[in-house]
Amino acid sequence: MVYAYRCEACGEQFTVRATLAEKERGLSPRCPLCDSRNVVQDYAGVGIARGTGGGGGCCGPSRRGGCCG
């Protein structure tokens, strides 16, 4: 999954890629701009990273074509 964060020290917005297991164990991301650990997760920016192939749109393969259709 991809998690979005915002640095409280400098305002930088960035993403961190981690498995659900890594997230449950606790992530401690650092800001890539200022190296601060004073970051907050942007829950609106949570997404699932998919690999290539086996496709379909945002919700997997569809027999009717198109995303979610």
Model confidence pTM above 0.95: no
Say what the pLDDT of residue 13 is: 95
- 3-class SS string, 1-69: CEEEEEECCCCCEEEEECCHHHHHHCCCCCCCCCCCCCEEEEEEEEECCCCCCCCCECCECCCCCCCCC
> How far is the C-alpha of 9 from the C-alpha of 33, rounded, in Å?
10
Say what the pLDDT of residue 49 is: 57
Flag whether pLDDT at 54 surpasses 60.
no
Contacts of 22 (CB under 8 A, 6+ apart): none
Flag whether pLDDT at 6 surpasses 70.
yes
Cβ atoms of 3 and 41 within 8 Å: the answer is yes
Question: Which domains does the chain carry?
Answer: 1-69 (2.20.28.10)
